[in-house]
């Protein structure tokens, strides 16, 4: 079963474009572009491994969503994209987060000698 990643962005088509460009990754992509959709996704999909939020949303909205996500799913990591890299930085950011946080094998603690 593929891990599930919830992408949150300002516009629905942006999220679809990210999922299309990263369809080579073994991920099930979910998208949301407003608070009701975020809540619905979190309440109906227990397998969400992480949430990645784009930079196009207003800071107040981003803050509100962080609070909602943390309250509903304290087990899920939330990753916020920076604004400096611009819209073209979204796909590389999402790919880095997914490869490092979702797809990477768990690190084992080094055995004490």
> Given this model, what pLDDT does residue 96 score?
96
Residue 5 β-bridge partners: 29, 50
> Given this model, what pLDDT does residue 110 score?
55
> Given this model, what pLDDT does residue 7 score?
96
Using the predicted structure, report yes or no on whether residue 26 has a pLDDT greater than 70: yes
> Given this model, what pLDDT does residue 108 score?
56
* Position 15 confidence tier, pLDDT thresholds 50, 70, 90: confident
Q: How far apart are CA 46 and CA 29, in angstroms?
A: 13
**Residue 16 near residue 54, CB atoms below 8 Å:** no
| Structural domains in the chain (count) | 1
- Domain presence at residue 54: yes
- Domain of 51? 4-103
Using the predicted structure, report yes or no on whether residue 112 has a pLDDT greater than 80: no
pLDDT tens digits for 31-86? 999 999 999 999 999 999 999 999 999 999 999 999 999 999 999 999 999 999 98
Q: What is the CATH number of the domain that holds 71?
A: 3.40.50.2300
- Domain presence at residue 113: no
Tokens of 37: 């959709």
């Amino acid at each position: 079963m593929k891990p599930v990643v919830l992408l949150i962005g300002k516009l629905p088509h942006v999220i679809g474009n990210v999922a299309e460009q990263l369809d080579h990754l073994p991920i099930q992509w979910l998208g949301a572009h407003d608070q009701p959709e975020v809540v619905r996704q979190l309440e109906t999909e227990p397998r969400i491994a992480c949430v990645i939020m784009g930079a196009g949303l207003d800071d107040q909205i981003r803050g509100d969503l962080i609070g909602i996500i943390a309250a509903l799913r304290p087990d899920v990591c939330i990753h916020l994209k920076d604004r400096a890299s611009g819209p073209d930085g979204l796909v590389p950011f999402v790919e880095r987060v997914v490869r490092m946080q979702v797809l990477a094998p768990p690190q084992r603690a080094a055995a004490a000698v």
